[in-house]
Amino acid sequence: MRRGKRRPLSRSEFRPILTDTLPFEVPPTFSNRGFYSFLEEFNVRYESECGTLSWSCDDSSLDVVMQLISGMLPGSKVSTSTTTAWGKRRATRSLVARPASGLANKKNWRAPFSFIVSHGLGGRALTIPHPFSQLEVSAFYSKFRNLIAYYASASKFSIRRPVRVARSTFFNDSLHLQRVDSETRGVEQYGKEYEKLGSFFVYKNYRNIHRFFESKDYHRCESQYDAMTLIDVSKCFDSIYTHSIAWAILGRERTKLNLGDIGGTFSGRFDALMSSLNDGETHGIVIGPEFSRVFAEIILQSVDSLIEKELGELAIPLVHGVDYEVFRYVDDFYIFYNDKKNRSAIVNIVQRALRAQRLGINESKLRDYEKPIITELTIAKDKVSALLDSEIVPLLTHVESSDSLSFSCRANSTRLITKYKAIVVETRVAYSDLLNYTLAAMERKLTQVVEKFLDSKQEAGDRQRVVAAVHSVLETVFFCYSTEPRVNHVVRLCRMLCTSIRFLQTRAFSSELRHRIFKYIFDNLFVQLNRNFRREFRGIDSLYLLVTLQQLGGSYRLSQLQLARFFRINENFEALLRPGYLDYFSVTVLLSYVGDKKRYRQIRAFLQAHIIDKLGNERRRWDSCECLMLLLDVVSCPYLDDRTKVESCRVFGLDNICQFYALRDATKRWFTAWGKSFDLAWALESKRSVEVY
Among 525, 550, 582, identify where a domain stops.
525
**104 domain-assigned:** no
Mapped onto helix, strand or coil, the DSSP state of residue 115 is strand
pLDDT given at position 90: 79
Residues 365 and 394 in one domain: no
Residues 440 and 506 in one domain: yes
Q: 284: number of CA atoms within 13 Å, CB side?
A: 12
Which pairing describes strands 405-410 and 393-398: parallel, antiparallel, or unpaired?
Answer: antiparallel
Residues 296 and 208 in one domain: yes
pLDDT given at position 193: 35
pLDDT given at position 165: 87
Residues 296 and 164 in one domain: yes
For the four alpha carbons of 230, 234, 240 and 246, in that order, the dihedral sign comes to negative
pLDDT given at position 158: 94
**381 domain-assigned:** yes
pLDDT given at position 121: 66
Are the CB atoms for 178 and 172 separated by under 8 Å?
yes
Instruction: Write the DSSP symbol of residue 660.
Output: H
Total domains, the chain? 2
**d(Cα 83, Cα 639) in Å, to the nearest integer?**
41
Beta bridge partners of 114: 127
**d(Cα 181, Cα 519) in Å, to the nearest integer?**
21
Residues near 650 by beta carbon (within 8 Å), at least 6 away in sequence: none
**447 domain-assigned:** yes
Give the residue numbers spanning the domain of 432.
Answer: 375-525
pLDDT given at position 214: 83
Residues 157 and 286 in one domain: yes
Cα 424-430-433 angle, rounded to 5 deg: 110
pLDDT digits (tens, 9 = 90+) for 291-340: 999 999 999 999 999 999 999 999 999 999 999 999 999 999 999 999 88
pLDDT given at position 256: 60
pTM beyond cutoff 0.85: yes
**117 domain-assigned:** no
Q: What are phi and psi of 550, to 5 degrees?
A: -60, -25
Q: What are the CA-CA distances from residue 53 to residues 10, 45, 297 (Å)?
A: 22, 6, 30
Residues 360 and 411 in one domain: no
Closest CA to 220 of 327, 318, 378, 303: 327
Provide the 10 A C-beta neighbour count for residue 354.
23
Residues near 99 by beta carbon (within 8 Å), at least 6 away in sequence: 51, 105, 107, 108
Residues 392 and 326 in one domain: no
**d(Cα 99, Cα 102) in Å, to the nearest integer?**
7
For the chain, residues with pLDDT lower than 70 are 1-11, 85-87, 99-108, 120-121, 168-198, 253-263, 401, 689-693
Residues 240 and 309 in one domain: yes
Residues 436 and 308 in one domain: no
Residues near 425 by beta carbon (within 8 Å), at least 6 away in sequence: none
Are the CB atoms for 196 and 172 separated by under 8 Å?
no
Residues 369 and 417 in one domain: no
Among 477, 492, 525, identify where a domain stops.
525
Radius of gyration of the chain (CA): 27
Residues 304 and 260 in one domain: yes
Residues 379 and 433 in one domain: yes
Mapped onto helix, strand or coil, the DSSP state of residue 381 is helix
Q: 589: number of CA atoms within 13 Å, CB side?
A: 27
**d(Cα 613, Cα 610) in Å, to the nearest integer?**
5
- In one-letter notation, the amino acid at residue 449 is V
The DSSP string of 187-243 is TT-BTTBEEE---SEEEEE-SSHHHHHTSHHHHHHHHH-SEEEEEEBTTHHHH-BTT
Provide the 10 A C-beta neighbour count for residue 234.
16
Burial-class residue 356 by CB neighbours within 10 Å (0-12, 13-18, 19+): middle
**296 domain-assigned:** yes
Tally the residues of the chain: 693
**218 domain-assigned:** yes
Cα 269-16-548 angle, rounded to 5 deg: 135
**456 domain-assigned:** yes
**124 domain-assigned:** no
Among 525, 547, 570, identify where a domain stops.
525
Are the CB atoms for 132 and 72 separated by under 8 Å?
no
Are the CB atoms for 55 and 66 separated by under 8 Å?
yes
pLDDT given at position 326: 96
